[in-house]
Each structure stands twice: as C-alpha cells, then as structure tokens.
Amino acid sequence: MPDALIERVRAAYESGTPLVIQGSGSKAFYGNAGGGEILDTRGVAGIVDYQPKELVLTARAGTPLAEIETLLDAHQQMLAFEPPRFGGAGTLGGSVAAGLSGPRRPYAGAARDFVLGLRLIDGTGQALRFGGQVIKNVAGYDVSRLMVGALGTLGVVTEVSLKVLPRPASELTLQFEFDEAAALRAMNQWAGLPLPLSASSWHAGLLTLRLSGAATAVRAAHARLGGETIEDAAAFWQRLRDHATPFFDKRPLWRLATGPTAAPIGLDAPHWIEWGGAVRWLATDLPAAALRRAAQAAGGHATLFRGDAPLDGVFTPLAPALATLHARLKQRFDPRGILNRGRLYPDF
C-alpha cells in the first residue's frame, strides 16, 4: 500500500508539485494554511504488531487512534500521552505528526517520548526507516523523534512503533476552589511531593487533579490533599483531552507554553491552565505580539491554536540560529519543499 504513496511523492518531487498530507483531517485547522494536492494517508492503515508483554505496538499511519485504543483497552493498556481523538477521527500518523499530547503529558511523557521508531517517505519519494521496536534503543540520535511535531514537513509517516503502558489500577479526581495564583502555587508545590499525580487543570476558580496508581497510594494521597472527589471524572478528563467543552470553541484561542512555575500571565482574558502550569490556554483577541511577549516573559512561547493566522504565522517565529537548523533539516528531507509547504512556518 505505501507503494502507491511512494509513487505519488516521487512524481510530485519530479514535477515540484506541493502535497498536503492528510489523515482524517481532524486537525486541518492547526498550523498555518498550506496548499497543494491532497495526499490521503488513510489507505495505509492497520495494526502491524502488538506485543502486550513487551509494551510495544506498531501500526500504519492511517490507523484511527480509536482502533488502537480499543485494542489496548482490551489488554488494560493505554497510550500514556493521551492524544486527543475528536470522536475517534484522528489517525496515528496525524497524531504523531502534530506531536500534541493530552492531560497526562507532564506526569508520564509527551508523544515524542513514546515513539520508538517509524517508517517514512521523504520528499524525494524514498522509503526510510528510523529507530526500532525495542524500548532500550541506544543507536545514536533518534531521527524518528524529529518527526513528532514536524507536521508532516519532513516526510510522510507510514508506520509507527510506540511504547504503551499499563492502565493504572486506580484513579481518583479531586477538586478544590482556588484562585489562579493559589492554584499555580498548589500545583507546583504538589508536583514536588511523591504524589501519584496524573493530570491537573484550573479553570474558573476550580483546580482539578487526577491521581492514578495503586489503590493504596491513591487513597493515601487523597487523605493528604483533601479536596472534593467528583462524579464522572473520566468524562471530565476526556472532554479536556478532546477539547470538547465550550471554552475551546472560542476564537482566537491561544496556547501559551510557559515555565510551570511562572506566575499568572496577567492578561485579561478567560484562561484554562493545564500541565501543572506549563500550558495556559487564553481566549483573547489581543494582538499576537502581546501574547508572544507575555509567553516569553513566562519562559515560553505562544501559538495561535485556533483562529485566523497572524502575519508572522501561528507559531512563534524561530530565532535565527534555530531557523537555520530547521532549514537544513528541511533541505535534507524535502529538498524541493513539496511536503506540507508553509504548514509549520510560512517560508518552510
């Protein structure tokens, strides 16, 4: 099946035709607008190998995340980075290419940390393989992880091997009434203690924490922290993971990645904080420059997650030295710039 994709990319390379790589398109809104012929990856689908005892799963890029999660669930295992699924529409390839992770990310690791290896078609139509299928993979620099978050600009991912994890034996969600500053202080203080935290959220005066692990550890942490337990906690975290609450429908919606210990951002806009303080969602039409300045002061950067792209693009422009590195990689993997042109950076 990838043969058809290889042929398409090869032909596009020869004619210099830009290609827009598309899984289910569930994240077409994310990144800068690009243009070109659609290269549909959904035909390259199916789980290739799953070894529950080894905690490793290999699947083709067009496989729906829902299919992978149903299989893992039957073995009490999970994708610990909790990629959003949007009603099951997202594909593994799109998820890896977007490199986004859900609520468990600060406590378990990011999408990038779970990719063991992958197969790829580069911008000349060559099929390549990076990394492996083993958890202890020490074969030098791990190119497969470069592809996580590259938004398809360095190659068409055709197959991915992932590390999976056992589902925790027990989970409990606690809620506290805190203002923003108190919530940030509490999240940071608790992150430094040996507590089985697995997710955190603050919005509209409510701090919500998830504990995951052995039942005794979860009970002991609850006794230590106090807080109200909430009903239907699984639905709460799923809605946050999939952005299925009205807050995330707002436009423009900005995502500020900050140092987790940074004080409140101080901009007057509805906020949703995640990841122990490291992600701050802001629904605001303040100018991009103001958001970028605030994020930089807090040790990070700002991305316009949803809304019309500002002139400098949705992602914070790279510093010159980094931009040069990126350009060299792009040149290496996609010399004619035909893959998802402009999607990551306008000139890339």
Ligand X SMILES: Cc1cc2nc3c(=O)[nH]c(=O)nc-3n(C[C@H](O)[C@H](O)[C@H](O)COP(=O)(O)OP(=O)(O)OC[C@H]3O[C@@H](n4cnc5c(N)ncnc54)[C@H](O)[C@@H]3O)c2cc1C
Give yes or no for residue 32 binding ligand X (CB under 6 A). no
- Binding-site size, ligand X (CB under 6 A): 35
Which region, judged by CB under 6 A, interacts with ligand X, from 23-31, 164-172, 175-183, 307-315?
A: 23-31
Give yes or no for residue 199 binding ligand X (CB under 6 A). no
Specify whether the CB–CB gap between 161 and 174 falls below 8 A.
Answer: no
Residue with tokens 């807080």: 227
Give yes or no for residue 119 binding ligand X (CB under 6 A). no
Q: In sequence order, what are the residues at sequence separation of 6 or more whose Cβ sits closer than 8 angstroms to the Cβ of residue 15?
A: none
Whole-angstrom distance between the N-terminal and C-terminal Cα of the chain?
Answer: 28
In this complex, which beta carbon is closest to ligand X, that of residue 40 or of residue 182? 40
What letter represents residue 328's amino acid?
R
Give yes or no for residue 23 binding ligand X (CB under 6 A). yes
Give yes or no for residue 252 binding ligand X (CB under 6 A). no
In this complex, which beta carbon is closest to ligand X, that of residue 103 or of residue 221? 103
Q: At 263, list the tokens.
A: 């004080």
Residue with tokens 């590390």: 163
Site for ligand X in 204-223 (CB under 6 A): none
Task: Residue 222: count other Cβ atoms within 10 Å of its Cβ.
Answer: 16
Which region, judged by CB under 6 A, interacts with ligand X, from 91-99, 122-130, 164-172, 211-219?
A: 91-99
Among 89, 134, 165, 191, binds ligand X (CB under 6 A): 89
At CA 54, angle to CA 49 and CA 55, rounded to 5?
80
Give yes or no for residue 84 binding ligand X (CB under 6 A). yes
Which region, judged by CB under 6 A, interacts with ligand X, from 19-27, 127-135, 189-197, 222-230?
A: 19-27
Which region, judged by CB under 6 A, interacts with ligand X, from 48-56, 98-106, 260-268, 292-300?
A: 98-106
Give yes or no for residue 21 binding ligand X (CB under 6 A). yes
CA distances from 22 to 27, 89, 316, 331 (A): 9, 12, 24, 22
Give yes or no for residue 91 binding ligand X (CB under 6 A). yes
276: left (phi over 0), alpha (psi -120 to 50) or beta: left
Closest Cα partner for 296 from 314, 317, 313?
Answer: 317
Smallest separation, CB 340 to ligand X (Å): 5
In this complex, which beta carbon is closest to ligand X, that of residue 195 or of residue 277? 277
Among 59, 72, 118, 151, binds ligand X (CB under 6 A): 151
Backbone angles phi, psi at 321, to 5 degrees: -65, -40
Among 56, 77, 94, 250, binds ligand X (CB under 6 A): 94
Element (H, E) at 59: strand 56-60
* Beta bridge partner(s), residue 281: 255, 272
> Which residues contact ligand X (rule: CB under 6 A)?
21-29, 31, 41, 61, 83-86, 89-91, 93-95, 97-98, 100-102, 151-152, 156-157, 243, 248, 340, 343
